[in-house]
Amino acid sequence: MTTLDVAIIGGGMITYDLLLPSVYHLQRTGYVNNIKVCALDSSPLKALKNSSDIRDAFPGQDFEAFPPVTEPADKKFPDLYKEVLAGMQPRQLTIVAMPDQHHYQVVMEALKYNQHILCVKPLVLRYEQAAEIEKTAHEKGLFVGVEYHKRFDRRSLIAKRGCELKQFGEFVMGEAKLIEPYYYRSSNFQNWFTCDKTDPFVYIGCHYVDLVYFITGLKPVSISVSGIKGRFPNGNEGYMWAQGRVRFENGAILSVIDGLGYPDQAAGSNDQSLQMFFEGDGKTGMIKHNDQFRGVEHSYLEGIGCGGSHFNYVSPDFYKLIPWEGSGYKPVGYGFDSVAASLTMACQIEDAVKKLSEADSLKKRKEIIREVDKKGIIATPANSFINELVVEAARISILTDGENVDIVYGAKPHVRLRQRT
Ligand SMILES: NC(=O)c1ccc[n+]([C@@H]2O[C@H](COP(=O)([O-])OP(=O)(O)OC[C@H]3O[C@@H](n4cnc5c(N)ncnc54)[C@H](O)[C@@H]3O)[C@@H](O)[C@H]2O)c1
């Protein structure tokens, strides 16, 4: 298999918790060559290098830090990622893991230097930007995956297959919930999670809208979101809670509640679930996922659980480091599966074209990318653009206190505030 160099742009929570460990494992299993990580300053890079969790799991593995960890933590390097991307060989992989509002510029820069891309969700904040990325990447035969990892949870894949086999009937009414911990309010969230920028529906509710679309294939057509505001410890005002009502193209309705308020003392680490009802012929069908309590409870001697708690619901399904036959520990779960799916897809694409002329290679790469789009398992700009429309519509709705916003498909998909009659 062809190996790829990987540059991760952004060294924060998601890089620490999921991306770097996953890439390290793919390096020692033969998919990844060199690894670079670029952050705004040296402090998150130091944390990644000094983490005993990561060191113990991946003994002897390392990455090249941009800026070097010897730079003072207060010195900022906002444009260094451009140099990192310019220094990559063509058709390697860039992982975009910066705050949402920077995704567009970094993805476009990576495409400029002919990189395949894996971007954390949301790809971008506007539909037009997603369409531009899709067009540019396709013209150059570059693969872009979006890291909607809930799609790789086995229960989602089982539900998707069941829907395809018509085991449940027609989706008619659903309820989803994702409540993040209260302690998020005292984290870096207080600096950017302000009313004008985002809200709990856009940040986490979108996962379940994407999941219902993924499972059923139904597109969302209108959205209403109402929020409840509160103050962060630093005085900034944000939406602490949000409730969204999403109507799908067949008339089905999904209600979604989200918040930054799951009790720190509770068994968590957050609360999340999905229930969907379906109409059949003279009977109904149902899918019910408890995504919080997955049947594993731990009670620790010390308060090492989330929020300092002793008793925890532990998810063996998302991401955990576990013993394996090799050295250290290996990452398992749908978080790892999701990263691996995009990264190995980029390797497969390069493998398929390595003996071809430039013209044949481009043609073949475009063909494979269209197959991935059509398959609809890995989220791509072409098959997950509904998410950008949902985000755009939700922001308009919450800022107008729950007005209905329609999503209009066709040659030029767009969102439109519904006029009251
Ligand atoms: N469930 C999920 O899919 C999931 C979960 C968490 C985060 N995310 C997404 O991941 C992204 C990052 O979130 P996070 O929690 O890791 O954020 P974070 O604030 O912990 O980290 C952001 C990182 O970006 C870096 N950065 C900022 N500006 C930069 C620049 N100009 N050049 C290089 N690096 C720069 C910072 O140094 C920091 O390391 C967000 O888009 C978020 O929505 C997705």
pLDDT in tens, 113-133: 999 999 999 999 999 999 999
- The order of strands in the sheet holding 116-120 is 64-66, 32-38, 4-9, 93-96, 116-120, 144-147
- From the list 76, 91, 84, the residue with the least C-alpha distance to 106 is 84
Identify which of 40, 106, 199 to mutate to test ligand 1's pocket (most ligand atoms within 8 A of the CB). Answer: 40
Please work out whether the CB of residue 38 comes within 6 Å of at least one atom of ligand 1: yes
Q: Tell me the CA–centroid distance for residue 120 and ligand 1, in Å.
A: 9
Q: Tell me the CA–centroid distance for residue 421 and ligand 1, in Å.
A: 42
Q: Tell me the CA–centroid distance for residue 84 and ligand 1, in Å.
A: 17
* pLDDT of residue 47 exceeding 90: yes
Which residue, judged by its Cα, is nearest atom 25 of ligand 1?
10
Cβ(364)–Cβ(354) below 8 Å: no
Cα–Cα distance, 14 to 374 (Å, whole number): 28
Q: What is the dihedral of CA 350, 353, 356, 361, to 10 degrees?
A: -90
Residues in CB range of 331: below 8 A, 6 or more apart: 18, 21, 22, 25, 57, 319, 320, 321
* pLDDT of residue 217 exceeding 80: yes
Identify the pLDDT of residue 81.
Answer: 98
Tens digits of residue pLDDT in 389-415: 999 999 999 999 999 999 999 999 999
Buried b (16+ CB within 10 A) or exposed e, 201-225: bbbbbbbbbbbbbbbbebbbbbbbb
CA angle at residue 226 from 150 to 232, to 5 degrees? Answer: 80
* pLDDT of residue 316 exceeding 90: yes
Identify the pLDDT of residue 319.
Answer: 96
Q: Give the atom of ligand 1 at the shortest distance from the alpha carbon of 100.
A: 41
- 271-279 and 284-290 beta bridge pairing: antiparallel
Q: Tell me the CA–centroid distance for residue 165 and ligand 1, in Å.
A: 38
Cβ(88)–Cβ(352) below 8 Å: no
Q: Give the atom of ligand 1 at the shortest distance from the alpha carbon of 16.
A: 16
Confidence of residue 220 (pLDDT cuts 50, 70, 90): very high
* pLDDT of residue 420 exceeding 80: no
Say which DSSP state 309 is in.
Answer: -
Tens digits of residue pLDDT in 57-81: 999 999 999 999 999 999 999 999 9
Identify which of 13, 199, 206, 334 to mutate to test ligand 1's pocket (most ligand atoms within 8 A of the CB). Answer: 13
Give the residue-averaged pLDDT of 366-373. Answer: 98
Cα–Cα distance, 256 to 189 (Å, whole number): 21
Predicted TM-score (pTM) of the model is 0.95
Q: Tell me the CA–centroid distance for residue 9 and ligand 1, in Å.
A: 9
Cα–Cα distance, 182 to 197 (Å, whole number): 19
